[in-house]
Structure 1
Amino acid sequence: MTLKGGLNFMQSKTRWWILGTGGTAVVAVIATAGYLLLMPGPPSKYVTNSPVTDPQPLSANDVAHDYAQSFGALDASAAAALTDDPTASTAALTTLYKNMSAARLTASVAGDAANNAATVNVDWRLGQFDLPYQVTLQLVQRNGKWLVHWSDADIHPELAKGQSLTLRTTPGGSTLTDRDGKPMQLDAVPKTLKAGVQQAIGGDLQAVDGHSITIVDAAGTDVKTLGQQEGTKKAAYALTIDAGTQAAAQKAVDGFQGAATLVAMQASTGEILSVATNAAFDSSGLSPLTGTFPPGSTFKIVTATAALQHGVTGNSAVSCPPTVHIGPRTVPNEDGVVAGSPPDYATQVHTAFAKSCNTTFAQLAANLGANDLPTAARQLGLGVDYDIPGITTNTGRVDTATDEVDRAVDGFGQGTDLVSPFGMAVVAATVHNGQAPTPVLIRGQQTTAQGMVAAPPVSVLNQVRTMMHEVCTPVGTAHALASLPNTFGKTGTAEVGDGPAHGWFVGYRNDVAFAVLLPHADSSGPAVNVAGTFLRAIG
C-alpha cells in the first residue's frame, strides 16, 4: 500500500513538472511571438508608405489627340480602345488599313476639342496623289471617362454604317515592249543593247500609275469615288527582240566554255531578234556589234559573189590542191583538205566552197580586179554605215587590193578584211532576202544607211544560196547540221597571230539570219555546234 501510494505521489509530481515545464514553454513561445509581432519586418512589395491615388482621368482634348495619333499610326487596337465601341471600331479600322495599305496616312487634331467635339485633319498619300479631308469626332463620357463616340464617319465624313475606303491603282503600263507587244523591263533587254536602248528612249522606262480612293460597301462594291489621279502612259517603244530567240541564243553561247557571241536578225525585215554574249566574251571587252575580226573562210561568201559576177559559175572547173603558190606566197588548205584527185585536183566551184578550199578561192580572188571584192562586200552589206536608233554598229571593212597576192589572201578572209558578227549577220540576211536589209531595233524609229549599193543579181545570189546549202550537207564543212533541213551557211577559221584561231559560222535558216563567233576557239567546229543548239531551240 505504502509502496503503491508512493508510486502515485511520484507520478503526480512528474506530471506537475511536465505541465510546469510545458507551461513555461508555452509562455516563452507566446512571448517570443509577441516580440516578433512587435518588431518591424522587411518591407513588402505590395505595401507602400506613400498614399495611393488614382491617375488623373484624360480630358476630352487628350482623348482626341491620342485617338488621332493612334489612328494615323495605323494602330487599330490602340485607337479602338479610346472609343465607346472597341469591337466595331477595331473591325472597321482593320478593314480600312488593309484596303489602304499602299498609301501613307497622317492624322492630327486641328486645335483643341470644344463642345465635346474635335476636328481631325486626315491625309492619305501615294506618290504625287493625295486625298486630304477633315472628320469631326464626337466625345462622350462613360463611367467618368472621355471616349470617342464611334461611327464609321470617323473614318471619312461621307461613310455610312458598314462602309469603308479602298485604294485602287490602275497601272500606267510599260513604255517598253517586245516585238509581240508584251511589256519588257530594262533588265530583260540583252545586256549588249541595254545602254543604247535606255539612251534612245530617254532613260525612263516606267509610266506613272493612276490611283483612286473610293467608298465601298461591306461587299466591296463601289459607292462613290472621292479622289482620282489619272495615270500617264508615256510614248510606247517596241523592241524587235524576240524573247524566245534571245533565250535560245543566250543558252547556246552560255553552253560554250570559251568566249562566244551570236547575233540574229529577221532576214526579210532586218529586225534584230537577238544579241547574245557569254561571260567570257564580255570579260574580254569585245562587242559583237562594233568589234571587228578577221572573217576567215566565211568571207568566201563575198569572194564567190564577186567571182560569179565575173564569168564564173557554181559549176565552173577549178582546182583544190593542198597548197598553191601565188607570187611569193604559199597558200595552204586547212588540215590538208583537197578536192579532186592529183595531180590537178580538179573540182567545181560549189564543191570547193562546200569543202572550204583556201587554194581555190585564193586563185579566184587573185584573178579579180582591185575593187571587185570591196564592191561585192558592199553589195552584201559589209562596209555599209548604219545609223540604227538604240545601238551603235560597225559592219566591217574590205579595202581595195591592187596586188594579186593581197587579193588572194583577202579571198579566203586572211588578209586585211575585218568584219563584225553583226556585219556577217547582215551578209547572211542579204543572201537570203535578195537585198541588203535595213537593220532595226526599235520599231517606228528610222534607220539610215550610208554607202549602200544595189544587191547582187538574183542569178548570182541563187548560186550562192545553193553553195551555202551544200556546206550544211554530209559533204560540207558544217555536216553536223545535215539533219536540220533548210539550213544554209559557211564555216570559217581565222588565223590571228600566234594564238588559237577564231571559229565562225554564218548562215540562215527559214527567215532567221545569224552569225556565231567564238574567239580563239581554234576551229569552226564548235561554232557550228553552237549554231546547231540555237537553231534546234527556235525550231
Structure 2
Amino acid sequence: MQPKTRRWILGTGGTAVVAVIATAAYLLFHPGPPSHYVNSSPATDPQPLSANDVARAYVQAFAATNAQAAADLTDDSTSASAALTLLYKNMSGARLTASLAGAPTNTTATAAVDWNQGQLDYPYQVQLQLVQRNGKWLVHWSDAAIQPDLGKGQSLALRTTPGGSSLTDRAGNPMKLDAVPRTLKGGVQQAIGADLQAVDGHSITVVDASGADVKTLRQQDGAKKAAYALTIDAGMQDAAQKAVDGFQGQASLVALSASTGEVLAVATNSAFDTAGLSPLTGTFPPGSTFKIATATAAFQHGVTANSIVTCPHTVQIGPRTIPNEDGVSSGSPPDFATPVHSAFAASCNTTFAQLAANLGANDLPTAAKQLGLGVDFDIPGMTTNTGRVDPADDEVDRAVDGFGQGTVLVSPFGMAVAAATVHSGHVPTPVLIRGQQTTASGMIAPPSASVLGQVQGMMREVVTSGTARSLASLPNTFGKTGTAEVGDGPAHGWFVGYRGDVAFAVLLPHADESGPAVNVAGAFLRAIG
C-alpha cells in the first residue's frame, strides 16, 4: 500500500471515531436512532443503550432538573415531563442531588435522592423499573418514580412556615425593622439586637393533583426569637407620616396615648431629617404653647380661667416692652379687660407675660414639671429629652418665659407628654416596647383636677373660637397654638393638644406661623378618625 493511501485511511478512521463519540453522547439523553440512521443498514446502526446506561442517564437528567431529558428516557414521556416539571416547580426552594446507588440490574436500578433546604434534609431511595420497548431500554414511568410513597397524580412540595416576626405593632401584626419609624429605628435595633432574626420552618409534603397537602414526609420547625411588641399604631403612623410629608418645609409630629403614655406615632419629613433635627431629643423654644404651663401655675396661685386680666397691645415690665403678635388683642378698653380664658384662646402674650411676672421664681418650673416638662425618662428603645425650664428670679425673665420666648426649651415629645397630662390628669410613663420598664426621674405630683379642668376648657376654646378655629368641625379636639421667634429667621410654628386619648405635638421649624402646624395636625386627626 502506498504511503499516501495509508494516510488517507488513518485520517478517515479518526473522523469515524469522532462521529461514534458524538453519536453516543447524543443517545445518552435522546434514546432512539437519529433521523439520518433510519434507512441505514443494520450493519451500520449504533448499538442501543444498555439498561445500565439508560438508568444512569435518567438519574443524571433527573438530578439536573432537566424534565424533558429525563422524560425522554421513560416509557411515558408526556406524563413524565408534566410530573417532573411540576415537581421542580413545587420544590424550587430546595437543592436536589441524585445518583445511582450500586450497579443496576437488567430490570431495576436504585436511585439515591436527597432534597435539602437549610436545616431540612430529606434523603430517600427509589426503585426504578427498567423495561424494553421496541428494542430499547427505558425507565418505566409512574409517579412513584419520584418518591416511592406517591400515588397516581401525587407529587412533592416544599412548604415554608414563617418562624414568626419577632417584632409586631400594637395590634400584634408582624412588623419588619424597616417599617419602624426612622426616628426610632436605631433605638429599637439597639434594644432588641439579634433577637429580630426569626428562622422560618420548612416541610416536604405529599400533595394531590389539586395541590392540597396529603401528608408530611419531613419537617424542620422554625425558630422564633424573643417576641417584641412595639406600641406603634400602624394606621396612626401612616397618617402622621403622610401629614408631615404634605408640608414642604421641616415638619415633625409625635403622638402618644394620653392615658398610658404608649408611643403611637413619630413622624418626620425629609427636610426635618436633612437638617439633623429630632422630635424626641431636640429642644426648641415653645412659643405660646408654653402658656399651658403658665396658666397651670397661675391657677395654683389664686387666678382662675374667669379672672379678669388685660390684653393690651404692649405691656411694660421693668425695662422691657413686650408686644403682642400683630393683630392680637383681647377685650375692650380701658386696658383691654378680658377673662383669662379669652386671652388664652386669642394667645395674648401681654396677658401671660403679666401673669408670669407675678409668679415666684420656681412657680413656672414647678408647673412645667407637673406636666412632665423637665422629667427625665429612660425608655427602652428610644432616647428622649422633654425639655428644660429654669427658675427665674428676675420678673422680666419670668415674663418672657411666660409666653415661651425666654430660656424655656422643649421637645415635641415633651409637649406631647404635657398635652397627655392635661387630658389624663397624670404624667404618663412613656413606653415604646411593651413589657420593658420605663424609669423616670424628677417626676412630681400633677396639678389638681380642678386646675387641669380649667386648662382643658381653655384648650377647647382655642379650637372652637380661638387661634385653631380652622379645626372647629373636629369634635372633642383640644389644643394650643404657638409661634416661637428664633433670632432673625422665620419663627417656629407649633400646635399641641389631644383628641380622645391621642395626645399630639406638631412642630414646623421656621414655618413663620402656627397656621401650617394646625393644618398638619388637622390632616393627621381627620385621617385617624
TM-score, normalized by length of structure 1? Answer: 0.86
CA shift digits 1:407-449 (9 cap, x unpaired): 1111111111110001000000000000001111122221111
Q: 1:271 aligns with which of 262, 274, 296?
A: 262
* Residue aligned with 1:391, SS: coil
- Count of aligned pairs: 490
Deviates more, 1:284-293 or 1:78-87: 78-87
User: Which residue of 1 is the match for residue 389 of structure 2?
Assistant: 398
**8 Å Cα contact 1:198-1:204 kept in structure 2:** no
1:150 & 1:246 partners in 2: Cα distance?
Answer: 58
Deviation at 1:397, TM superposition (A): 0.7
Deviation at 1:217, TM superposition (A): 4.5
Q: 1:446 aligns with which of 437, 441, 444?
A: 437
Q: Segments of 4+ in structure 1 off by > 6 A?
A: 49-52
Q: 2:515 aligns with which of 521, 525, 532?
A: 525
User: Which residue of 1 is the match for residue 22 of structure 2?
Assistant: none
User: Which residue of 1 is the match for residue 244 of structure 2?
Assistant: 253
2:186 & 2:273 partners in 1: Cα distance?
Answer: 15
Cα distance change, pair 492–220 in 1 and its aligned pair in 2 (3 A)? closer
Matches within 5 A, 1:259-408: 259-408=250-399
1:139 aligns with 2:130: yes
Deviation at 1:482, TM superposition (A): 1.9
**8 Å Cα contact 1:322-1:333 kept in structure 2:** yes
Matches within 5 A, 1:83-162: 83-114=74-105, 117-162=108-153
**What amino acid maps onto 1:527 in structure 2?**
A
User: Which residue of 1 is the match for residue 12 of structure 2?
Assistant: none
CA shift digits 1:346-367 (9 cap, x unpaired): 2222121111111111111111
1:479 aligns with 2:469: yes
CA shift digits 1:216-244 (9 cap, x unpaired): 45465655432111223333222211122
User: Which residue of 1 is the match for residue 224 of structure 2?
Assistant: 233
Cα distance change, pair 217–473 in 1 and its aligned pair in 2 (3 A)? closer
**What amino acid maps onto 1:401 in structure 2?**
A
Deviation at 1:205, TM superposition (A): 3.6
Cα distance change, pair 72–399 in 1 and its aligned pair in 2 (3 A)? same
User: Which residue of 2 is the match for residue 76 of structure 1?
Assistant: 67
* Residue aligned with 1:212, SS: strand
Q: 2:484 aligns with which of 494, 503, 510?
A: 494
**What amino acid maps onto 1:80 in structure 2?**
A
Q: 2:493 aligns with which of 489, 492, 503?
A: 503
1:149 & 1:336 partners in 2: Cα distance?
Answer: 96
* Residue aligned with 2:341, SS: helix
CA RMSD, aligned part only?
2.2
CA shift digits 1:134-156 (9 cap, x unpaired): 22334344444333233433212
* Residue aligned with 2:193, SS: coil
CA shift digits 1:271-312 (9 cap, x unpaired): 111111112111111111111101011011111111111111
1:190 & 1:132 partners in 2: Cα distance?
Answer: 45
Cα distance change, pair 87–482 in 1 and its aligned pair in 2 (3 A)? closer
Q: 2:182 aligns with which of 182, 185, 191?
A: 191
Deviation at 1:168, TM superposition (A): 2.7
User: Which residue of 2 is the match for residue 11 of structure 1?
Assistant: none
Q: What are structure 1's unaligned runs of at least 5 residues?
A: 1-48
**What amino acid maps onto 2:481 in structure 1?**
T
TM-score, normalized by length of structure 2? Answer: 0.87
2:212 & 2:447 partners in 1: Cα distance?
Answer: 68
**8 Å Cα contact 2:459-2:480 kept in structure 1:** yes
**8 Å Cα contact 2:195-2:225 kept in structure 1:** no
Deviates more, 1:393-402 or 1:133-142: 133-142
Deviates more, 1:284-293 or 1:179-188: 179-188
1:58 aligns with 2:27: no
**8 Å Cα contact 1:240-1:273 kept in structure 2:** yes
2:475 & 2:211 partners in 1: Cα distance?
Answer: 59
* Residue aligned with 1:290, SS: coil
CA shift digits 1:23-60 (9 cap, x unpaired): xxxxxxxxxxxxxxxxxxxxxxxxxx979854454344
Deviates more, 1:516-525 or 1:237-246: 237-246
CA shift digits 1:307-350 (9 cap, x unpaired): 11111111222211111122222111111422223342222221
2:215 & 2:399 partners in 1: Cα distance?
Answer: 82
Q: What are structure 2's unaligned runs of at least 5 residues?
A: 1-14, 20-39
**8 Å Cα contact 1:80-1:86 kept in structure 2:** yes
**What amino acid maps onto 1:490 in structure 2?**
K
* Residue aligned with 1:158, SS: coil
1:330 & 1:477 partners in 2: Cα distance?
Answer: 24
Cα distance change, pair 389–89 in 1 and its aligned pair in 2 (3 A)? same
**8 Å Cα contact 1:394-1:422 kept in structure 2:** yes
Deviation at 1:161, TM superposition (A): 4.3
1:386 & 1:505 partners in 2: Cα distance?
Answer: 23
User: Which residue of 1 is the match for residue 58 of structure 2?
Assistant: 67
**8 Å Cα contact 2:293-2:364 kept in structure 1:** yes
1:483 & 1:160 partners in 2: Cα distance?
Answer: 68
> Sequence identity of aligned pairs in percent?
79
**What amino acid maps onto 1:377 in structure 2?**
A
**What amino acid maps onto 1:526 in structure 2?**
P
